Amino acid sequence: MKKIIFQSALLICAILCASCESESRWPDNDESSIYLVQNGFTDNTVWNLDSGEYVATVGVNCGGVRPGNQTQDITVTYAIDKSIIDAYNDDITQQYSGQLEMVPESCFSVDGNTVTIARGEVSAKLNIRFNVAKMLQECDMVNKKYAVPIRLVSTSAKTLSDAEGFTEAIYAVNIDSPRFFFYCNEYGLAVNSVKVLPGSNTVERYQISGYGVPEGEYKITVAYDPDALAKEFPWETILPEDAYSVDDAELVYHNEHSRAQVALRFDSSKMDYLTSYYLPLSIVSGGPYGADPEKKTLFVQVDLKNAYEKSYTSKITVTDGSSGRSGGYSAKKSPTSYLEDVIEIQMICNNTIAGAKSSQMGSTTYNNRYMRLRIIPAADIHHYGVEIIPVTDKSKKNNSPDGLELDPDAESYYDADQERFVLNYRWKHTDGNWITATEYIQAN
């Protein structure tokens, strides 16, 4: 036993030593070189910050070297070289050929003309400092395209990349304003859906994100916005203002990893069944920054539902009392919440029901008939009571058939544990005989 333990200990030590040394023993590529990460033409955003200055970074990398093998400081010299833009404009194959202009020298600066890739590192950042206020004054950002051209000139170790264009960068810029928006709208206006159960205490959370907002603490304010709903969805019913509440009065945004959150609760007593409501909630302030005009509003579709509105699979057998013929059917059913304890459900979802004729002419019009079921809770969760409520307020072809009732000679119930209905019901044939149905409706 001691021998096994000793051998295991040696094995663990060997693994640990190998992992510690692998970094330095692992060979570099045969050729390692220095290059610009954002080489060639790139389109970038310069954010109009409260400070008036925006610092952009361009990566300078040493490729083909592992950090553990990078044992010296590498000084890389670079230059701002307008000839790169000239060459770009002369090339008719380029997207902005003949249109590109250099950002005026008074509008930007760089930190000297060198960057250092430190020992143990394989990259460094080349900083470009933009004076956004001056750019807005001196640059025609609407009609022209501006860029800063960068060329790597030399390196104190390794070599500059000889891959075409890897040591040149055209850092094209657009000026934009930092702003907040609802994260769910990131790719365009989105409508969120919430189902509210009566008496429930569900909290729905929605994140507020930011474009170009620097890290910090920003207090975000949101407000009920009927005008936004009238603009985007004028045909929808607005959720009453007293039918929701926000958990936290102060919403705080720090960064993309710590976004502000709106936590919403809904009051079911202020809502009606069979009505879809829309809650419009807009960002109205965000410290020094505003909100994206197209993405600032959260739209939540709110529906009051009971606990029985689910997706079901139905298996049904129907027997015609006149002929004795029977037919078996299977269908998917999606009931609608009618009241807290009532659902409305389609009776038959197939093209025909054996013997289910609405007239002497033989037409089969029970295909889209409806009935309502009231569920009556009981001590035994496997045998809740069920009551059939005939539908009489729809069109003639959708109302319940005449005489619809539970079959008094068979049991009907709802199993709350299994989420399953067992129904035995009947209705009158035109000749006075009963048509009976046995239906098992199981939640999916």
Specify if 5 maps to a domain. Answer: no
Task: Examine the domain organization and report whether 193 and 114 are in the same domain.
Answer: no
Q: Name the domain boundary from 271, 304, 337.
A: 304
Specify if 97 maps to a domain. Answer: yes
Count: domains in the chain: 3
Task: Examine the domain organization and report whether 33 and 170 are in the same domain.
Answer: yes
Considering the chain, what is the average pLDDT of its residues?
88
CATH number where 108 lies: 2.60.40.1740
pLDDT(259) > 50: yes
Q: Name the domain boundary from 176, 196, 223.
A: 176
Q: What is the pLDDT of residues 45-58, one digit of tens each?
A: 999 998 899 999 99
Q: What is the pLDDT of residues 153-194, one digit of tens each?
A: 999 999 999 999 999 999 999 999 999 999 999 999 999 999
Task: Examine the domain organization and report whether 190 and 153 are in the same domain.
Answer: no
Task: Examine the domain organization and report whether 93 and 183 are in the same domain.
Answer: no
Q: What is the pLDDT of residues 208-218, one digit of tens each?
A: 999 999 999 99
Task: Examine the domain organization and report whether 49 and 78 are in the same domain.
Answer: yes
Specify if 11 maps to a domain. Answer: no
Share of the chain above pLDDT 90, in %: 73
Specify if 49 maps to a domain. Answer: yes
Task: Examine the domain organization and report whether 251 and 143 are in the same domain.
Answer: no
Q: What is the pLDDT of residues 268-289, one digit of tens each?
A: 999 999 999 999 999 999 889 9
Task: Examine the domain organization and report whether 146 and 199 are in the same domain.
Answer: no
Task: Examine the domain organization and report whether 152 and 34 are in the same domain.
Answer: yes
Specify if 19 maps to a domain. Answer: no
Q: Name the domain boundary from 260, 277, 304.
A: 304
Q: Model pTM?
A: 0.77
Task: Examine the domain organization and report whether 132 and 231 are in the same domain.
Answer: no
Specify if 244 maps to a domain. Answer: yes
Specify if 233 maps to a domain. Answer: yes
Task: Examine the domain organization and report whether 39 and 166 are in the same domain.
Answer: yes
Task: Examine the domain organization and report whether 198 and 224 are in the same domain.
Answer: yes
pLDDT(67) > 80: yes
pLDDT at 367: 58
Q: What is the pLDDT of residues 289-308, one digit of tens each?
A: 999 999 999 999 999 999 99
pLDDT(397) > 50: yes
pLDDT at 125: 96
Q: What is the pLDDT of residues 339-377, one digit of tens each?
A: 999 999 988 644 344 434 444 344 444 457 899 999 999
Task: Examine the domain organization and report whether 288 and 329 are in the same domain.
Answer: no
Specify if 256 maps to a domain. Answer: yes
Residue by residue, what is the 3-state secondary structure of the chain? CHHHHHHHHHHHHHHHHHHHHHHHHCCCCCCCEEEECCCEEEEEEEECCCCCEEEEEEEEEEECCCHHHCCCCEEEEEEECCHHHHHHHHCCCCCCCCCEEECCHHHEEECCCEEEECCCCCEEEEEEEEEHHHHHHHCCCCCCEEEEEEEEEEECCCEECCCCCCCEEEEEEEEECCEEEEHHHCCCCCEEEEEECCCCCCCEEEEEEEECCCCCCEEEEEEECHHHHHHHCCCCEECCHHHEEECCCCEEECECCECEEEEEEECHHHCCCCCEEEEEEEEEEECEEEECCCCCEEEEEEEECCCCCCCEEEEEEEEECCCCCEEEEEEEECCEEEECCEEEEECCCCCCCCCCCCCCCCCCCCCCCEEEEEEECCCCCCCEEEEEEECCCCCCCCCCCCCCEECCCCCCEEECCCCEEEEEEEEECCCCCEEEEEEEEEEC
Q: Which residue segment(s) compose the domain that 366 sits in? A: 312-443
